[in-house]
Amino acid sequence: MATSGSYDFNLDRDAIITQAYRYIGAVDIRSTPSTVELTDGGITLNSMLKGWQTENIYLWLNRKVTLFLEYEEETYTLGPTGDNFTATSDVVMTAIKTAGETGDSSIIVDSITGLTSGDYIGVELDDSTTQWTTIDGAPSSYTVTLTDVLTDDVAVDNYVSTYTTKAQRPLEIIEARSINSNDNEIPLIPISRDEYMNLSNKDSTGVVTQFWYDPQLTNGVLHVWPTNADPKSRIKATVKTQIMDFDSGSDDGEFPPEWTDTIVLNLAVRIALKTGVPIDKELRNLATSTKFMASTYDNEKESTFFQPDMGR
């Protein structure tokens, strides 16, 4: 039996739009939508997928991220122009090998493996704060050249963290843990805006145990309590990220193949509504049923347990 051996079926933006137009009979199978139809179809497609993010689907977009905590900082901005927040897989950590002094333009570290020119780099200073700058040129022989000179002395074994790219704004923080200097993890408790606002002393310092996340727009805002007292601490979390835009006709979809049908069919229904084409009942039912099946499949499979509150 001959099989393809491939599992990478996908449709780019224009192919999705073309299939949608063909479902409603607006484009013949031997032709393609016009430039205007493709452009408008792209707007409708992006709008539909962004709207679906509110339904708590797209399980494959749950990502592991790391936020580097600052000394006694209450709030952090999470996003492309925010604080030091990145995909966990992007993080490289090492330590100071030879002590440095204020004004030094380079540091000597235990390992330069994974360190690249242009990476963001955080250096633990002796005053318990972290200085963030970037790597200036390719590291060599344990030496890392910094874009900005050190603003304080650095002792042997002070931590050094690097990463390449800031993570995008999370839609939601699903779970989070505080990681201390010994790499021990403490689960964080999510709280509401009111609960955070009712905290009497928001600048208390210690081990972070609670957080409130406000998604905002370009950058989300994370509020933590108490503020961090350990310069080596960081937060690891699982977040729900945004689905990528379709910016050009050749962009592939950021979704698994089992979602292809429901995206095409539901886009077809929306295009029909916009163009005045009568919507076939079978098409509408098929769009609804495939969306239900895909979104039901795209959920955690663990059991949920309920028990009475014995304290009442």
Q: What is the mean pLDDT of residues 258-284?
A: 95
Same domain for 172 and 273? no
**Tokens coding 94:** 């090492």
Q: Does the residue 260 lie in any domain?
A: yes
Contacts of 164 (CB under 8 A, 6+ apart): 86, 90, 116, 118, 119, 120
Question: What CATH number is attached to the domain comprising 122?
Answer: 2.40.10
Range scoring the smallest mean pLDDT among 47-61, 183-197, 206-220: 47-61
Residue 1 in domain = no
- Judged against a pLDDT cut of 70, whether residue 311 lies above it is answered with no
Q: What is the DSSP letter of 271?
A: H
Provide the domain count of the chain.
Answer: 3
Structure-block tokens of residue 253: 């979809």
Decide which of 145, 165, 185 is a domain's last residue. Answer: 165
Residue 183 is predicted with a pLDDT of: 85
Residues 26, 48 within the same domain: yes
Say if residue 73 is in the same domain as residue 218.
yes
What pLDDT digit, counting tens, does each position of 31-74 carry? 999 999 999 999 999 999 999 998 888 888 999 999 999 999 99
Q: What is the pTM of this model?
A: 0.87
Instruction: Identify the domain containing residue 35 by its residue range.
Output: 13-58+255-297
Looking at residue 110, what is its pLDDT? 98
Indicate whether 121 and 144 sit together in one domain: yes
Instruction: Kindly give the residue spans of alpha helices, DSSP state H, lying in 149-298.
Output: 193-197, 260-275, 281-297
| pLDDT value for 307 | 61
Q: Note whether 173 and 71 are same-domain residues.
A: yes
Residue 74 has a pLDDT of: 95
| pLDDT above 70 as % of the chain | 96
* CA 32 to centroid of chain Cα atoms: 35
Residue 248 domain flag:
no
Q: Decide which of 121, 145, 165 is a domain's last residue.
A: 165
Q: In what order do the strands lie in the sheet with 85-87?
A: 85-87, 62-68, 234-240, 172-179, 185-187
* CB-based burial label for 40 (10 Å; 0-12, 13-18, 19+): middle
Q: Does residue 124 lie within any of the structural domains?
A: yes
Do residues 77 and 173 share a domain?
yes
Structural domain contains residue 96: yes
104 and 211, same domain (yes or no): no
**What band does 178 get if pLDDT is binned at 50, 70 and 90?**
very high
**Domain assignment of residue 305, yes or no:** no
Residue range 161-172: average pLDDT?
Answer: 96
Is the same domain home to 105 and 145?
A: yes
One domain, residues 127 and 275? no
**196 and 68 in a common domain:** yes
For residue 218, is pLDDT > 90?
A: yes
pLDDT of 308 strictly over 90: no
Give me the chain's average pLDDT, please.
93
Let me know if residue 68 belongs to a domain: yes
